[in-house]
C-alpha cells in the first residue's frame, strides 16, 4: 500500500485551540500508526488576519502536545505562484474560464434572480464565451463546475454525502489581482504534498464538494475524506471560551500533562471499545477512522482531570519532574530549588497516584516543598492546640533516638497513640499540620521518611509548646 500522508493545516489567526489540537492529533496518530508522514501547512493566505505570533503559538502548542511533523512547515502563501499556475492550467484545459463580470453585474444578476424566485447562485455569461469576444479588462478565473448531476463525498466518518451540482456555483479560483483563492490553494497544496487522507472538522464538509471538483478537473486522485464532528461544551452547545475553548497552551498552564491531554483528546470523538486510559503507543496502534463517532463529542473537565491523573500516576519519575518544571516555567512560577527538587522527587512514590494535575501534585506535595517556618492554613492552625503541641513535644523526644525506617516508625507512633489513649487520627492531625502546614497530606510516615529525621524533628520542634 502507498505511504499514508496526512496534514494539519491551521490558519494562523489565533492560538491553537483545543479543537485544532484534536484535529492535529487525529492526523498525527493516523499517519504515525501506519508508518506514514504527518505534514504541517500554515494557511496564511489571508494576509490581514494571519500573524507570525499566531504561527508561533500553533507550533508551540503542537510541540507541547508532542505532535511532531515531518519536513519543513509549509507556508501556503509562499506557494501562490504555483496556485496561479494551476489556475492557468485549468484555463488551458477548458475546466476554468475567464469571467469579466463586475461586482455590479453580479449583484444585478442576483437581484433579478431573487425577484424571479430563481437560484441566486451566479451564472456567468462568460462561461462559454468565445475568447475572441473577451474585452481588455480585469477578470477572475472561475472553475467550470458541472451544472447537472451530483457530487458525492465518500466520507469515512459521515458516509456518502451528496451535493446537487446545481447548488454549487462556478467558484473563483484566481482573483483579478492574480491571487489564488483559498479553495484552490488547499487542493493544490494537498495534491503537491502528496496528502492521501484529509482529516479535519466537519465545518469543511461543504468545501470538500467544491474541492473535489478541482481534483476532478485536474485529473488528480481525490484523497480519502474524514470530516470529524466539532467538539461541544459539556451542555451540548457549541464550544465557547466559557466551555474551555482555550488555546492548548492554556491547558499546559492549568497543569495537565501532555500525555494525559493526548489520551483525553483522542477519546474526544474517537473510541476503541471501552478503553479509556491508554498510552500514546496504544493510541497509535488502535487509531482508525472507523472509530470516529458521528455525534459531536463533549468537552468534560472532570474526565480530562481523571485521565490526566491516571497519566501522572503512570509517568516515569524523571519525565514527570521534567514536565513539572516546564509547567512551572509556562505558568510563570519559580523553578524548584535543589532541595525542593530532591524532596519532591523522593516523595513522588506517595504523590503520583493521587494527583490529577501538576498544581494538585504541588499542593499534595507541599510537605516536600515548604521550608521552615512552615506556613499553616487555618485548619492546620486549629489542629495545633495546646494539648496537641504537648503531644508533639512527647513525640519529638521519642523520635530523637528512633531508627528512621517505616518498620520502626509505625510501631513507635501506634504505641504512643495507644499509651495516650488517642485515636491515630488525633495523633496524626498535629503531625500533618507541623510537617506540611495542612491537614490533608500523604501519610505521616511517608512525609517523615521523605524529609528525613533532622527536618522532621526541626518542624515538630517549631510547634513545641
Ligand atoms: N485552514 C483551515 C482551518 O484552519 C483548515 C483547512 C483544511 O484542513 O482543509 O480551518
Give the mutation target among 24, 40, 182, 204 for probing the ligand 1 site: most ligand atoms within 8 A of CB. Answer: 204
Instruction: List pLDDT tens digits, range 141-159.
Output: 999 999 999 999 999 999 9
378-463 has which fold?
Answer: Arc Repressor Mutant, subunit A (1.10.10)
Contact 254, 18 (CB under 8 A): no
Q: Decide: 60 in ligand 1 pocket, CB within 6 A.
A: no
- Asked whether the predicted pLDDT for residue 74 surpasses 70, the reply is yes
Domain boundaries in the chain?
A: 78-228, 378-463
Instruction: List pLDDT tens digits, range 205-237.
Output: 999 999 999 999 999 999 999 999 999 988 888
**Taking phi first (over 0 means left), then psi (-120 to 50 degrees means alpha), and beta for anything else, what does residue 255 get?**
left
Contact 120, 114 (CB under 8 A): yes
Of the candidate ranges 172-176, 418-422, 457-461, the one whose mean pLDDT is the lowest? 418-422
- Asked whether the predicted pLDDT for residue 245 surpasses 70, the reply is no
Residue 110 cell numbers, joined: 442576483
> Can you tell me the distance from the alpha carbon of 453 to that of 418, in angstroms, rounded to the nearest whole number?
23
CA distances to 317, 435, 453 from 444, rounded to whole Å, are: 22, 8, 13
pLDDT, mean of residues 436-442: 96
> Can you tell me the distance from the alpha carbon of 11 to that of 451, in angstroms, rounded to the nearest whole number?
50
CA distances to 15, 31, 55, 107, 320 from 327, rounded to whole Å, are: 18, 28, 21, 55, 10
Q: Decide: 127 in ligand 1 pocket, CB within 6 A.
A: no
- Asked whether the predicted pLDDT for residue 1 surpasses 90, the reply is no
Q: Decide: 141 in ligand 1 pocket, CB within 6 A.
A: no
**Nearest residue CA, atom 7 of ligand 1?**
9
- CATH homologous superfamily for the domain 78-228: HUPs (3.40.50.620)
> Can you tell me the distance from the alpha carbon of 55 to that of 50, in angstroms, rounded to the nearest whole number?
8
Report the separation in Å between the CA atom of 10 and the middle of ligand 1, taken as the mean of its atom positions: 5
Residue 238 cell numbers, joined: 457549541
Identical fold for domains 78-228 and 378-463, yes or no, is no
- pTM, two decimal places: 0.94
Cis peptide before 4 (omega within 30 of 0): no
Instruction: List pLDDT tens digits, range 39-68.
Output: 999 999 988 999 999 999 999 999 999 999
Report the separation in Å between the CA atom of 41 and the middle of ligand 1, taken as the mean of its atom positions: 9
Give catalytic residues, as residue numbers.
241
Predicted local confidence at residue 464, as pLDDT: 80
Give the mutation target among 7, 10, 197 for probing the ligand 1 site: most ligand atoms within 8 A of CB. Answer: 10
Predicted local confidence at residue 234, as pLDDT: 84
Amino acid at each position: 500500500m502507498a505511504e499514508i500522508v496526512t496534514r494539519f493545516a491551521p490558519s494562523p489567526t489565533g492560538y491553537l485551540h483545543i479543537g485544532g489540537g484534536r484535529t492535529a492529533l487525529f492526523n498525527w496518530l493516523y499517519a504515525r500508526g501506519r508508518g506514514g508522514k504527518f505534514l504541517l501547512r500554515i494557511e496564511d493566505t489571508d494576509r490581514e488576519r494571519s500573524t507570525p505570533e499566531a504561527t508561533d503559538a500553533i507550533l508551540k502548542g503542537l510541540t507541547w502536545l508532542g505532535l511532531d511533523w515531518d519536513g519543513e512547515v509549509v507556508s501556503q502563501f509562499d506557494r501562490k505562484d504555483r496556485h496561479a499556475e494551476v489556475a492557468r492550467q485549468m484555463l488551458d484545459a477548458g475546466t476554468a474560464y475567464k469571467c469579466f463580470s463586475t461586482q455590479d453585474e453580479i449583484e444585478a444578476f442576483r437581484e433579478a434572480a431573487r425577484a424571479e424566485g430563481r437560484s441566486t447562485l451566479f451564472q456567468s455569461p462568460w462561461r462559454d464565451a468565445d475568447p475572441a469576444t473577451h474585452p481588455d479588462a480585469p477578470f477572475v478565473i472561475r472553475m467550470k463546475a458541472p451544472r447537472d448531476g451530483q457530487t458525492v463525498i465518500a466520507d469515512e466518518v459521515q458516509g456518502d454525502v451528496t451535493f446537487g451540482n446545481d447548488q454549487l456555483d462556478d467558484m473563483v479560483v484566481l482573483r483579478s489581482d492574480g491571487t489564488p483563492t483559498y479553495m484552490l490553494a488547499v487542493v493544490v497544496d494537498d495534491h503537491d504534498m502528496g496528502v492521501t487522507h484529509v482529516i479535519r472538522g466537519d465545518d469543511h464538509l461543504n468545501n470538500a464538494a467544491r474541492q473535489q471538483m478541482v481534483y476532478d478537473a485536474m485529473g488528480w486522485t481525490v484523497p480519502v475524506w474524514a470530516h470529524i464532528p466539532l467538539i461541544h461544551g459539556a451542555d451540548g452547545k457549541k464550544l465557547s471560551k466559557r466551555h474551555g475553548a482555550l488555546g492548548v497552551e492554556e491547558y499546559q498552564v492549568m497543569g495537565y500533562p501532555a500525555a494525559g491531554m493526548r489520551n483525553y483528546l483522542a477519546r474526544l470523538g474517537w473510541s476503541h471499545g471501552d478503553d479509556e486510559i491508554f498510552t500514546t503507543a496504544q493510541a497509535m496502534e488502535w487509531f482508525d477512522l472507523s472509530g470516529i463517532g458521528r455525534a459531536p463529542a463533549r468537552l468534560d473537565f472532570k474526565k480530562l482531570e481523571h485521565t490526566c491523573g491516571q497519566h501522572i500516576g503512570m509517568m516515569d519519575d524523571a519525565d514527570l519532574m521534567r514536565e513539572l518544571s516546564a509547567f512551572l516555567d509556562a505558568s510563570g512560577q519559580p523553578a524548584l530549588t535543589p532541595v525542593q527538587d530532591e524532596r519532591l522527587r523522593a516523595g513522588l512514590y506517595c504523590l503520583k497516584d493521587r494527583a490529577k494535575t501538576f498544581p494538585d501534585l504541588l499542593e499534595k506535595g507541599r510537605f516536600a516543598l515548604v521550608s521552615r517556618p512552615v506556613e499553616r492554613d487555618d485548619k492546620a492552625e486549629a489542629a495545633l492546640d495546646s494539648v496537641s503541641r504537648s503531644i508533639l513535644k512527647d513525640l519529638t523526644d521519642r523520635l530523637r533516638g528512633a531508627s528512621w525506617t517505616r518498620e520502626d516508625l509505625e510501631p513507635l507512633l501506634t504505641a504512643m497513640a495507644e499509651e495516650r489513649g488517642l485515636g491515630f487520627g488525633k495523633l496524626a492531625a498535629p503531625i500533618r499540620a507541623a510537617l506540611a502546614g495542612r491537614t490533608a497530606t500523604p501519610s505521616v510516615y511517608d512525609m517523615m521518611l521523605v524529609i528525613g529525621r533532622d527536618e522532621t524533628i526541626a518542624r515538630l520542634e517549631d510547634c513545641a509548646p
